[in-house]
Structure 1
């Protein structure tokens, strides 16, 4: 498995009616973040970007980058309704929303 691949893909939807996209890796997350509008980039965006970039240079663990990206997506209302959030240490996954 590629060291920058997420354990569980992050499922996002960018607009109502559009299909769900899956982000499988740090590189895909960075590509998505780089296309995010500048006027909508805040502290959570910067934290996600920094974590993902840090993972590419071995300063941040991949799953930490994934959690930061997921947090950004959750707050930005991008996470798909069926997105499962993995537990930290091999526990069961839990649903994000009811």
Structure 2
């Protein structure tokens, strides 16, 4: 489903010994989140999961889900250093501060 794709994939490094991985949409983000360790799940995790789930059932947009997932990844320290900030429609993408 094209409406569940992110405008810009979220680039993550799940662990220091792994290569960069790209998350392209809501379903892939939900799969990643469902594998996240229970002991490390907090408020941002729940916000990201809820946003992705909401997008999957049509009550949120994929853009909102992407922003929530990216915020979770950034706060968790797994965001790739070259990741561009997810954008709102019509905005130019911008690099995330390192």
Q: Residue in 2 aligned with 1:22?
A: 22
Report if the CA contact (8 A) 1:84-1:96 is conserved. Answer: yes
TM-score by length of 2: 0.94
Structure 2 gaps of 5+ residues are none
Report if the CA contact (8 A) 1:30-1:53 is conserved. Answer: yes
Q: Counting helix residues as a fraction of each chain, which structure ranks higher?
A: 2
The answer to whether structure 1 residue 40 and structure 2 residue 40 are counterparts is yes
Q: Following the alignment from structure 2 to structure 1, what is the Cα–Cα distance between the partners of residues 43 and 86?
A: 24
Q: Following the alignment from structure 2 to structure 1, what is the Cα–Cα distance between the partners of residues 13 and 43?
A: 21
| Cα deviation digits, residues 16-41 of structure 1 (max 9, x gap) | 13110000010000000000000000
Report if the CA contact (8 A) 1:55-1:62 is conserved. Answer: yes
Q: Following the alignment from structure 1 to structure 2, what is the Cα–Cα distance between the partners of residues 62 and 69?
A: 10
Paired residues for 1:43-54 under 5 Å: 43-54=43-54
Structure 1 runs of 4+ with >3 Å offset: none
Report if the CA contact (8 A) 2:11-2:80 is conserved. Answer: yes
| Two-structure CA RMSD over aligned residues (Å) | 1.2
Number of aligned residue pairs: give it.
98
TM-score by length of 1: 0.94
Structure 1 gaps of 5+ residues are none
